[in-house]
Structure 1
Amino acid sequence: MKNLISERVADFLKNYPPFNIMDKKLLEDLSQQVTIIYKEKGSPVFSFGEEAHPSFYVVHKGAIELNNPILKSVTDYCDEGDIFGLRPLIAKEDYKLEARAYEESILYAIPIAVFRPISESNQRVSNFLTESFASNTRNPYNQTRKLERSGISTTLNAQGNLVIDDFQPIRYSKKLVSCGPKTTIQKAAAIMTKHRIGSVLICKNELPIGIVTDKDLRNKVVTGDFPITSSVRNIMSSPVITYPEKITIAQAQMAMMKNDISHLILTKDGTTNSGPVGIISKNDIMVSLGDNPSVIVKAIKRAKKIKQVKELRKSIMMLLNGYLEQNLPMALTSKIISELNDTCIKQVIAISLERMKVPPPVNFAWLALGSQGRGEQLLHTDQDNALVFEDVAEDQLPATTEYFLELSSMVTKGLNKIGYEYCPADMMASNPKWCLSLQEWKNKISYWIINPGPNEVLMSSIFFDYSLAYGHPDLMNELSDFIFSSVKKYPIFLVHIANGALQSPSPSGFFRSFLVEQDGQHKDFFDLKNRALRPLIDAARVLVLSHSIKGISNTWERYEKLAELEPNNQELYLACSYATKALLKFKTKQGLLHHDSGRYIELESLTKEEKMKLKRTFKAIKEIQDLISIRFKVSNILG
């Protein structure tokens, strides 16, 4: 007779890793050993320090909160298909976190004794569990694209959503306390007490040779094995495990588990042959996990107040600083920070909708414009957004517009509270000119395209760099289709857009010297945005419009797509892609350094190397503007 319950368990598990890579018969046999557990909201699954359970868990329904009661911080939330409670399986020790039902939940308890042989015989299963335990990587196999650099990765899942791994650099202590191998245990203990630390590094000739921790004192001295007058060389753990400074959270966790240790020593070259520069403890890892992108995303989504989102945005800026210091690829950094910023915007809109007296009368889409729409807005800058709602009968239009203007006003106010300045030109959805029905938007865009004066070209340039921040994608897609069909009907519009792309002032003069502002508030400063970034952004826009490329708003991704479509110009387009990323990275670093937008650069503050890096991008700018001028015959038609 068939076990219908185990069949249902197997049908569920086969949809989630690592069970989806297991043999079908093996999964069916395992499912017969699974125990189903019901947890009421707020009830514990296991507690901090509790003896290891004989099973680990999979969430079937509901949500589980993992938290560290000592640090009083939430580490993660697990929902349908997520695995938790792996410590007894991986590390073979008692729990270091508390697991509690965040809402009414049903769990599948997977017996460790039954599962361990499966894990040991299947390397892919073992790898997944190790990664899940070490870095909260939910699903490294479900992907369509992976970007890797030195073991660091981010993935796009089948739905195109970003899955962020724990690759940010870990925070660690640079205040090293050390002593020599001949130091007595008593003196070493006194040093640890004086500095309120749990370990002391043992060095010889300024090189690390061992470490003594509280655990060593308990297990080797308090037990009577060694007297306190003995030297620390008798109880130290040696050799020490060393790593270079730029170690990631996942790498640190893996190293500690692999070597069954609680401290890692960071040295100049990553080996014991160079001097120590820092030390990482298990506590440092737990603190760093508070800045895990996945945790931040979930925390933002659960925020009920605008001020909570504002606080979480501070963590995003800390991540950005860390990524730039770690010298991660700009495309990767931008992707993650944009994803986090988009999550903030979505939550502000969701909170605003909750505060409205009635739900929206029709479907709508909130569009992010400009640098935010391109996924290139890393620093706290001003808002550029618009709202489009479904068409309604003429007599219903005033009331519908009034509703969405009220919502938009609430949203833009909320965005301002979390750090987005109001747009000086009032290009925001709270402005009636930027909060329109689908047909009204079509009418406005038609006017821009048919009557492309300087102001219309400027408006369309900002508007054409948009992405869906919230709402129904069908509205945005229909608008995109309309734009491209209209441009095809009026190709002269592209010439005007191309002309606009050539209006940005040149970045260099004779002998490739920087051209700086001649007057005004920023006299003698270099305008990085107008003279370097804008020409690249504008050129990419007109080129993708001419090719009718939909769904790509990011500038360097536009150039990479153009490189595919035009092999004869591939080298130039890839150079433009690189230049855009390099300039955005430079602008972001300058902005963080000077606490501004990073737009205006004081050249005297730059090193020679920094100036050379900037100038390397100028050639691509000149060549892409030459291409635009020739391709669209701007001077002949408009000159």
Structure 2
Amino acid sequence: MNTIAENIADFLKEYPPFDNLTFQELSAIATNIRVLNLDKNETLFQINDKLHDCFYVVASGTINLSVIADAEETLLNKCHTGDVLGLRPFFAKNNYMMTAKSREDSIVYGIPITTFRPFVANNPDVLNFLLESFATNTWNPKEKESLRGKLANDNVFNLDQKSEMQYFQSLNYNRSPLTASINDTAKDVAVLMTENATTSVTICQDQLPIGIITHSDMCSKIATGQFPLTVTMKAIMSSPVVTVVENISLAEAQLLMLKNNVTHLCVTLDGTDKSVIKGVISEHDLIIAQANNPGVLIKEIKRASSPKDLKHIRERLTELIQNSIHKNIPLSNINNIASEINSAILKRAVELSILELGSPLARFVWLSIGSQGRKEQLLLTDQDSILIFEDVLPDKYRDVRDYFLKLGKRTTATLEKVGYELCPNGHMASNILWCKSLTDWTKQYDSWMNTPGENSNDLSSIFFDLELVFGEKKIFEAIENVISKNQEHNSLFFDFLGNDALRKNSPLTFFKKFALEEEEPYKGKFDIKTRALMPLIDGARLFALHFNIKGLNNTYSRFKQLAIIDSKHSDIYLNCAEAFLTLSKFRVNEGLKNENSGQYISMNELSKLDKEKLKNALAPMKDLEELIKSNFKLTQFS
């Protein structure tokens, strides 16, 4: 073995995943490695380049990884000595989705995929490291928690979120697979494949899959003359087949194809080759599925030119949510993905209005409030929004306000066509009450917070769940500062909000039975929004304002943060966080089943176990209520 290869093997054995391999294995890999000397600012690969036949390890220097989002290049991370990058050729067929460029003179080792693949297939630790590195967009998965926070702060919808989605993104595949027997000839099967325009036929015996023949088998074994057209499937099929369950995810399918070095998977009733075949997943299906991931949906949203386009994308999001719930993915994960897509739809609706009306007459922000502001809108519930424009000279005020009212009306009309109903309470930017200047909004918040209860019939606590959708961040920050300033030592305001939180009707009767609706059309149903979710939402908001937690609107995230800040009551907050997820899941399931907001649960359709789960999720509300009373020195009647 030459000295250079020996030095490379010595280097690799210090770093994961190579530390899982023997020195002998590393030496075999090292003899095939390419050593690349990169000058400062030299590009190794860039977005949309065709995939290389190798992946890379940094031997010395630093490689910057960046993506382009909204026409700006954003640094995702820096790879230092021993870091692995460029893993896309292992797991995907499409082009590179980021750019790798040397920050200084650097040396990089290029490891050919074909050389390394056998070591991956035989070593699950190596495979898991590579898969996790690729999926989380980290260079050492053990550091992913600290890194993920950093990536999230970059406000880039990056591979981390997109690849996370692959773990619960379902696949569309051929659910009516062609089958043949072991005695059928190559000619018969070729005719069958041609007539049905398919790339594979499953070979079955007693209806059970025992082998598969693919288009590439036909090319390599028959077209080359290696076997005659009269040969039977028994002689040329690939056997045994790799079988999977019906609801396999995109990432799981990729992993299995990689592990077994195959291009097709057989879907069977119980996931084994001892049960009936239900379908076939091809490599092509995986490529198509990747086009349905959140990153692609967001790209499509940015290109959408009509409400109809946006409606179609929102329908695909609903499917995605449904599949994810079906696969028991944690609701908090689903929420993260869905909220990014929802926000992108809202933003595009504003952009389409501007394209129609012409450039805005002043700087402004469009803010979501309510469930959209909390990023909790998994279902198509109603829209809530406000619009704040910068202060202008008095003689321009009317024209500016009229422009933004038109913008509000067009945008809310677009969102209604997408499927978000108009807010029944009129809490929308199309309403003259909620479309005004920064000074007017400042007066509004001053009034709400310093004299709550006086002429405050219009005060709804959802105005304190604010999320920037579009526009000037400085205007948004100005309003945040007004809220922050007004809440200092403001016991009157917290007294008002605290009593408002306590005023909700109890979810259970005196005899611990569910408090059901008594009036039609919801008679006999349980109002999970008003009686169960709202008290938790109100409580989380109340304490988040009290402890001045900024940048976290989501109820689940607020409770998790409160458990850290107010640690002596952490058990109450954590129980409330879990209860909120459980109750939200009940609501989402109800909404998806009936294609509505899921607010009213049909109790007679719940199993005994589900009723028990629902009742248990209501238990932490009592502790939260007591904590509100003691913390803000309230009685329910104060």
TM band (smaller chain): 0.7 to 0.9
Q: Distance in 2 between matches of 1:441 and 1:582?
A: 36
Q: Distance in 1 between matches of 2:356 and 2:420?
A: 20
1:444 aligns with 2:438: no
Structure 2 residue aligned with 1:30: 38
Do the aligned partners of 1:572 and 1:623 also contact (CA within 8 Å) in 2? yes
Q: 1:550 to 1:269 in 2, by over 3 A?
A: same
Do the aligned partners of 2:181 and 2:203 also contact (CA within 8 Å) in 1? yes
Structure 1 residue aligned with 2:588: 588
Structure 2 residue aligned with 1:266: 267
Alignment of 1:152-163 (within 5 A): 156-163=151-158
Q: Distance in 2 between matches of 1:159 and 1:38?
A: 20
Structure 1 residue aligned with 2:110: 116
Q: Per the alignment, in what secondary structure is the counterpart of residue 116 of structure 1?
A: strand
Q: Distance in 2 between matches of 1:143 and 1:310?
A: 40
Structure 2 residue aligned with 1:285: 286
1:253 aligns with 2:254: yes
Alignment of 1:404-419 (within 5 A): 404-419=404-419
Moved over 6 A (4+): 32-39, 52-56, 58-64, 77-82, 86-89, 95-99, 118-124, 126-135, 137-145
Structure 2 residue aligned with 1:234: 235
- How far is 1:446 from its partner? 1.9
Identity of aligned residues (%): 34
Q: Distance in 2 between matches of 1:173 and 1:133?
A: 30
- How far is 1:624 from its partner? 1.5
Structure 2 residue aligned with 1:319: 320
In structure 2, what residue type is equivalent to 1:30? L
Q: Per the alignment, in what secondary structure is the counterpart of residue 404 of structure 2?
A: helix
Do the aligned partners of 1:374 and 1:465 also contact (CA within 8 Å) in 2? yes
| Count of residue pairs brought into register by the alignment | 572
1:332 aligns with 2:333: yes
- How far is 1:60 from its partner? 12
Alignment of 1:175-214 (within 5 A): 175-189=176-190, 192=193, 196-204=197-205, 207-214=208-215
Moved more, 528-537 or 209-218: 209-218
1:303 aligns with 2:304: yes
Q: 1:335 to 1:553 in 2, by over 3 A?
A: same
- How far is 1:578 from its partner? 0.8
Q: 1:421 to 1:330 in 2, by over 3 A?
A: same
Do the aligned partners of 1:146 and 1:156 also contact (CA within 8 Å) in 2? no
Structure 2 residue aligned with 1:485: 485
Do the aligned partners of 2:213 and 2:237 also contact (CA within 8 Å) in 1? yes
Q: 1:462 to 1:38 in 2, by over 3 A?
A: closer
Query: TM-score, normalised to structure 1's length?
Result: 0.77
- How far is 1:31 from its partner? 4.4
Structure 1 residue aligned with 2:597: 597
1:389 aligns with 2:389: yes
* Structure 1 gaps, min length 5: 1-25, 47-51, 65-76, 100-104, 109-113
Moved more, 586-595 or 408-417: 408-417
Q: 1:604 to 1:204 in 2, by over 3 A?
A: same
In structure 1, what residue type is equivalent to 2:110? R
Structure 1 residue aligned with 2:6: none
Q: 1:589 to 1:449 in 2, by over 3 A?
A: same
Q: Per the alignment, in what secondary structure is the counterpart of residue 391 of structure 2?
A: coil
- How far is 1:147 from its partner? 11
Do the aligned partners of 1:457 and 1:500 also contact (CA within 8 Å) in 2? no
Do the aligned partners of 2:52 and 2:89 also contact (CA within 8 Å) in 1? no
Q: Per the alignment, in what secondary structure is the counterpart of residue 29 of structure 1?
A: strand
Q: Distance in 2 between matches of 1:433 and 1:248?
A: 47
Q: Per the alignment, in what secondary structure is the counterpart of residue 634 of structure 1?
A: coil
Q: Distance in 2 between matches of 1:88 and 1:624?
A: 47
Q: Per the alignment, in what secondary structure is the counterpart of residue 456 of structure 2?
A: helix
Residues 155-179 of structure 1: per-residue CA shift (max 9 Å, x gap): 9444144422133122223334434
Q: Per the alignment, in what secondary structure is the counterpart of residue 285 of structure 2?
A: helix
Q: Distance in 1 between matches of 2:351 and 2:201?
A: 50
1:353 aligns with 2:354: yes
Q: Distance in 2 between matches of 1:290 and 1:487?
A: 46
Q: Distance in 2 between matches of 1:179 and 1:203?
A: 6
Q: For the aligned residues, what is the CA RMSD? A: 4.4
In structure 2, what residue type is equivalent to 1:116? G
Moved more, 431-440 or 283-292: 283-292
Q: Distance in 1 between matches of 2:45 and 2:536?
A: 57
Alignment of 1:55-94 (within 5 A): none
Q: Per the alignment, in what secondary structure is the counterpart of residue 456 of structure 1?
A: coil
Moved more, 485-494 or 200-209: 200-209
Structure 1 residue aligned with 2:576: 576
Structure 2 residue aligned with 1:515: 515
Q: Distance in 2 between matches of 1:88 and 1:589?
A: 35
In structure 1, what residue type is equivalent to 2:220? N
- How far is 1:511 from its partner? 4.8
Structure 1 residue aligned with 2:567: 567
Residues 301-333 of structure 1: per-residue CA shift (max 9 Å, x gap): 233444333322222222212221222111110
In structure 2, what residue type is equivalent to 1:220? K
Do the aligned partners of 2:185 and 2:232 also contact (CA within 8 Å) in 1? yes
Structure 2 residue aligned with 1:626: 626
Do the aligned partners of 2:178 and 2:202 also contact (CA within 8 Å) in 1? yes
Q: Distance in 1 between matches of 2:248 and 2:606?
A: 29
Q: 1:27 to 1:405 in 2, by over 3 A?
A: farther
In structure 2, what residue type is equivalent to 1:540? A
Q: 1:251 to 1:199 in 2, by over 3 A?
A: same
In structure 1, what residue type is equivalent to 2:154? Q
Q: Distance in 2 between matches of 1:567 and 1:80?
A: 36
In structure 1, what residue type is equivalent to 2:324? Y
Moved more, 126-135 or 187-196: 126-135
- How far is 1:442 from its partner? 1.7
Q: Distance in 2 between matches of 1:240 and 1:328?
A: 28
- How far is 1:495 from its partner? 1.5
Q: Distance in 2 between matches of 1:622 and 1:585?
A: 20
Q: Distance in 2 between matches of 1:441 and 1:380?
A: 28
Moved more, 606-615 or 395-404: 395-404
Q: Distance in 2 between matches of 1:567 and 1:249?
A: 40
Structure 2 residue aligned with 1:539: 539
Q: Distance in 2 between matches of 1:318 and 1:147?
A: 32
Q: Distance in 2 between matches of 1:474 and 1:32?
A: 37
Residues 223-272 of structure 1: per-residue CA shift (max 9 Å, x gap): 44444544312111012223344433234334435544321123455454
Q: Per the alignment, in what secondary structure is the counterpart of residue 517 of structure 1?
A: coil
